[in-house]
Amino acid sequence: KYQGSWDSYADGADIGGTESFSEEKGAAASLTFHGTSISWLGCRNNNLGIADVRLDGKLVAQGIDLYANAKQYGVVLFRADDLQAGEHTLEIIATGRKNANAINAFVLIDAFRDETVVENAALRLCVVNEWHYLGGWGNYQRTVNRANTSSGSAHLRLLAD
């Protein structure tokens, strides 16, 4: 779900071939998911600024600096593990601030990855969902029926002790 002004850009090096970005102070992108872990994947570059992160309405990371001299793809910019199983909401907020070396204050989102681990005495099951958007971004939430503009993948991985 997007609040404020966001744009998208096609870049074949991104996970889904597109990235979404905003420079508007207070603009936010959020994902509601069911899981025990969540990651925000994006880039670092010379035109990127500083972001804050809320998880379930609480500010959990402040001042994440996305600046780098050259573009770096597929960077895990934030990760939360060991969440209580159930529904959570991750929110990325553009602060309008930037590193002194940055030329702009854009905040960029490439993808989100949520993970659920289910364990019992005989089995440990890990489900990973990766969320990225083709042809632009829109409002979304994790449901069985996804919007036509979204794509995702689920990977099942059996882990042995």
Residue 102: is its pLDDT beyond 50?
yes
Burial of 115 (0-12, 13-18, 19+ CB in 10 A): buried
Res 83: pLDDT:
93
- What are the tens digits of pLDDT across the range 40-73? 999 999 999 999 999 999 999 999 999 999 999 9
Split at pLDDT 50, 70, 90, the class of 87 is very high
Q: Which of 38, 87, 43 is nearest to 61 (CA)?
A: 38
> Can you tell me the mean pLDDT for 8-25?
87
- Cβ atoms of 140 and 29 within 8 Å: the answer is no
Instruction: Assign 142 to helix, strand or coil.
Output: coil
* pTM across the whole model: 0.77
- Computed over every residue of the chain, the mean pLDDT equals 81
> Can you tell me the mean pLDDT for 22-43?
93
Q: How far is CA 13 from CA 99, 103, 113, in A?
A: 24, 22, 17
Res 125: pLDDT:
60
